[in-house]
A and B are shown apart, each in its own frame.
Chain A
Amino acid sequence: MDLLQGTLDVLVLRTLSWGPMHGYAVSRSIRQRTDGVLEIEDAPLYKSLHRLERAGCIEAEWGISENNRRARYYTLTAAGRRQFKSEENAWRRYAEAVFKVLEPA
């Protein structure tokens, strides 16, 4: 199943809301939580990370990974948290509206 435009950013923000993590961790986490239903490539994921950094939603910083390698860790900023809240609400309203149409009358 293809991803709707802009959906990835929300997923990334949601994932980072659990705490700072590097790109690989974000990728793995999203993959697990969608049970492989969504075909998410890593390239757009990384693009999303950097785009969100530019927008000030997340901050990046080099740190040491669990296997002792230098890794780039991303942290949600206050602005990112606000952004996530508003996008999450929009998503829920959107999904509810779609469901209402799909429900048998």
Chain B
Amino acid sequence: MSRRRLFRLPWRTPRQIRSDVDEELSFHVDMRIDALIALGKSPDEARAQTVREFGDLEDARRYMGAVDNDIEAAQRRSELMIDLKQDLVYALRKLRAAPGFTITAIVTLALGIGANTAIFSVVNNVLLKPLPFPAADHLVRIQFTQRGQGDAGTPPDLADYRALARSFEGFSTIEGATSNLVRPGADAERVPGVRVSANFFALLRIQPLHGRFFREGEDAVGAATVVVLSEQLWRRSFGAEPKVVGTTVRINAGTFTIIGIAPAARRYPLTSELWTPRAFTPADLSDQTRGARWLSMLGRVKDGVAVDRAGEEITRISEQLEQRFPEVFRMRRARAVPIQDFTVGDLRKPLYVILAAVGFVLLIACANVANLLLVRASTREGELAIRTALGAGRARLIRQLMTESMVLAVLGAAAGVLLARLGMHAILQLAPPNLRLVTTATIDATALAVTACVALVTGIVFGVLPATQVSRGEVVVALRSGGRGARGRHTATRTKRAIVVAEVALAVTLLTGAGLMLRSFGRLTAVDPGFRPEGVLSTKMLLPGRAYDSPKLRTFAAALEQRLANLPSVQSAALADYIPFDNGSYGFTYQIVGRPPIRPSDLPNTETRSITPRYFETMGIPMVDGRGIEPSDVATSEPVAVVSRSLVRATFSSESPIGKLINIQWGNDSLPRRIVGVVDDVRSFSLGDPPDPIAYVPMTQVPTTAVSIVVRTAGAPSVLANPVRQIVRELDRDLPVYGVLTMEQRIADSVGRQRFYATLIGIFAAVALALAAIGLYGVIAYAVTQRKHELGVRVALGATSTRISRMVVTEGVALTAAGVVLGLGGALATSGIIANLLYGVTARDPLTFGGVALVLGAVAALASYLPARRAARVDPLEAMRGD
């Protein structure tokens, strides 16, 4: 360090540097001229010679100025670094000297920052990162609606869009086809997969890990059966052996050649384990199939074409098709949805709401630490005054205090990242499956960078207020009052109170949101599903169609039901093609025989279930009218159906449905069936949606390849899992049993997403409440300490201890009341955002709002009661002597 720096001389401005250079040069010139004159030269000669000897003066002047500017800047930098190092060392020393304060601040910040890091990581993974395909934003799913209701595509649609859409590179069908996979010498395995067109992988633009993907024409009828396996399946079940490419496996009783392995990180759909080509027969593609909607489509927009434009084209084509087929396509529209939205679209809003919630938590944490710093700063007035007296400027003091804040923020962020890593695992445990799929419990570079920014901003937010407030102090006053500083007390107190009011308000807003979500979740889970789920175990199987033609299916079903019923502890057992709270089951249009004909696109819809006689008894679905399915309903007897109440409501106004004929249009079996009974409604997919109409038919009359087992027991249903598996294995070794779950689990899973949101927001609201309570306590407790003298005087003048504590509590409650009012206002203004995430509660539910106010009031009373008790015990003599 130069001497100049040692004494902290002021910096030279560029102008001063210029004048210094000029002075140095003119000194030289004057000296030289004088010397030459002394040697006997005339002044003119002397000047001329000096100039000659000097050379390019202007160049030298410029150069010297530039170099000096460099020197100055370098010195400035090095001095800043030295200051920073000093500040850091000093800050660390100061923080270590007050471990209570430091730990409180770091833990508070870690909670705030950690929650943000964890949730941001999830949001980043799920919503911000594109799916891992080249130009993934140009991949779309085609979504159909008819009369505003969700609809699907048909094989002719695929052909139409391929022919008509010019902004697309191509379209592929994508059809869920969970399959039974059998490898030589191993148990059958149930594997999620899809059936796709041959161009599927070309549209995704991905390369196989081994082997190849489908070739053109491999999705033609009669082409060799080939399959692509996922890397995961290949590693798990095929020992990651590249030579399996070219070998065969059995899938649903067919033999398939493995042609390639799809890389793990680039699967679509995200759960798929195997891909097989989907062939369409001419019959599939005929116009007659336009009524049966089940097909899904993936498309890739051509490079250079805007996705919005391509979407408009899709909608235009759907309008053209409506005109061509008005009977079936009336008011049917198609639109293109980017695959990212298609996959995670329903997660977007809840995740942003949760991100906002953790933002609130962070703000509250900042407020708390700011208050801690203010309290601490007022105890440091003496120290700061001395430093000012010794020559530290205000900027220098602010820099010092900000360094302390930054150190706290960085330490808090470091602890927060650790916390976030732990938290991520817990969060993903709770997460609904589609969220778990697209995210991993890792905090990547982006999340870390964001955390660093958050920490920086946090440090500024909570540090700047205390720093500017403290440095405003007047040295003399502070010094004279022996470091206890009389000045600015009021401003500081007012600031602290404002901060507390703000954090209470934030906590109230967040708590209200959480309250609404929790109440909504409570309402949702209280909904009666329409059957008695307790004591019922369910499992699923898919019988390979090729191995089980209808008579065989009937025998199988009969044998299975018989053996299940013979299990000890089983009260009743039944089979059904689909069961409630499971994916599956289709809607079919139906007509009541003898009614005037209805236009095809206006026909009512019903779900259907193929069941065995004891299904209603096993599931606990009450009969309302007529009879159920009986053992006497066999393949050869009259076709019958039992319908649900909502089907009756939709189709029969007052007349009894019993004895009427219903014609369910499921293609090959479109014969009229006699309605013999009515059962109560059952919710099929979610507790939140109203029950759909269902028509139940005997499995003996309508055999299906999808078979679910339901068994009811008096005890814990899960103990039946192994016996049921054993029975199925005895009947058919190649048949994997999957989805072994109690009905209660199925219902719980169906509200998993809501539970996830409610739990997360609930946790963050609890943290916010705790932080706000701590903040409130801190301010009141500090105020009591500061007012010890005054309180002492009051006690000496006869104030009772009740009166003193009431005074203190009143102050706390008043602050809280202000915060609650502001917070409820904030909640009223913002709760509309989550309105469509709520079930059975309005976004302005008075009970929730009132409850939150009460909780806050109670917490505030407690937070101020503790300091109040201390205030009431003030010994007047000691309090006044201590001054």
Q: Are B27 and A70 in contact (CB under 8 A)?
A: yes
**Which residues of chain A are near B71, meaning CB under 8 Å?**
50, 53-54
B883 on the A face (CB < 8 A):
no
The distance from the CB of A7 to the nearest CB of chain B, in whole angstroms, is 16
CA distance A23 to B31 in the complex (A): 11
B2 on the A face (CB < 8 A):
yes
B241 on the A face (CB < 8 A):
no
Within 8 A of B (CB), among A54-91: 54, 59, 61, 65, 67, 69-72
| Beyond A50-B67, A69-B30, 9 extra complex contacts between A and B, CB < 8 Å | A24-B32, A42-B60, A44-B60, A46-B24, A47-B60, A50-B63, A71-B24, A72-B20, A72-B23
**Which residues of chain A are near B25, meaning CB under 8 Å?**
46
**Which residues of chain B are near A67, meaning CB under 8 Å?**
31
Q: Are A42 and B55 in contact (CB under 8 A)?
A: yes
Q: Are A42 and B63 in contact (CB under 8 A)?
A: no
**Which residues of chain B are near A65, meaning CB under 8 Å?**
27, 31
**Binary contact readout B68-91 vs A (1 if CB under 8 angstroms, 0 otherwise):** 101100100000000000000000
**Which residues of chain B are near A72, meaning CB under 8 Å?**
20, 23-24, 27
Within 8 A of A (CB), among B22-77: 23-25, 27-28, 30-32, 35, 53-57, 59-60, 63-64, 67-68, 70-71, 74
Q: Report 8 cross-chain contacts, Cβ distance below 8 Å, ordered by A residue.
A: A43-B57, A44-B55, A44-B60, A47-B67, A50-B71, A51-B67, A54-B67, A54-B70
**Which residues of chain B are near A22, meaning CB under 8 Å?**
24, 27
CA distance A51 to B35 in the complex (A): 27
Q: Are B28 and A27 in contact (CB under 8 A)?
A: yes
Q: Which of B20, B23, B56, B67 has the most CB of A within 10 A?
A: B67
B3 on the A face (CB < 8 A):
yes
Chain A to chain B: the 8 pairs with minimum beta-carbon distance, closest first: A41-B55, A43-B55, A43-B60, A50-B67, A42-B54, A24-B31, A72-B24, A50-B64
> If A42-B55, A59-B2 touch, does A69 touch B27 (CB 8 Å cutoff)?
yes
> If A41-B54, A54-B71 touch, does A23 touch B60 (CB 8 Å cutoff)?
no
Closest to B62 in A: A47
Closest to A27 in B: B28
**Which residues of chain B are near A27, meaning CB under 8 Å?**
28
> If A24-B32, A41-B55, A42-B53 touch, does A47 touch B63 (CB 8 Å cutoff)?
yes
Q: Are B3 and A70 in contact (CB under 8 A)?
A: no
Q: Are A41 and B68 in contact (CB under 8 A)?
A: no
**Which residues of chain B are near A61, meaning CB under 8 Å?**
3-4
**Binary contact readout B500-539 vs A (1 if CB under 8 angstroms, 0 otherwise):** 0000000000000000000000000000000000000000
Closest to A70 in B: B23
CA distance A71 to B24 in the complex (A): 6
**Which residues of chain A are near B4, meaning CB under 8 Å?**
61
Q: Are A47 and B23 in contact (CB under 8 A)?
A: no
CA distance A22 to B31 in the complex (A): 11
**Which residues of chain B are near A41, meaning CB under 8 Å?**
53-56
**Which residues of chain A are near B63, meaning CB under 8 Å?**
47, 50
Closest to A61 in B: B3
CA distance A28 to B35 in the complex (A): 10
Cross-chain contact of B24 among A23, A28, A43 (Cβ < 8 A): A23
CA distance A24 to B54 in the complex (A): 11
The distance from the CB of A45 to the nearest CB of chain B, in whole angstroms, is 9
The distance from the CB of B501 to the nearest CB of chain A, in whole angstroms, is 56
CA distance A72 to B420 in the complex (A): 60
The distance from the CB of A53 to the nearest CB of chain B, in whole angstroms, is 6
Q: Are B60 and A46 in contact (CB under 8 A)?
A: yes
**Which residues of chain B are near A28, meaning CB under 8 Å?**
35
Q: Which of B32, B59, B63 has the most CB of A within 10 A?
A: B63
The distance from the CB of A96 to the nearest CB of chain B, in whole angstroms, is 31
CA distance A18 to B218 in the complex (A): 93
The distance from the CB of B14 to the nearest CB of chain A, in whole angstroms, is 15
Closest to B59 in A: A43
CA distance A50 to B59 in the complex (A): 13
CA distance A72 to B64 in the complex (A): 13
CA distance A97 to B741 in the complex (A): 93
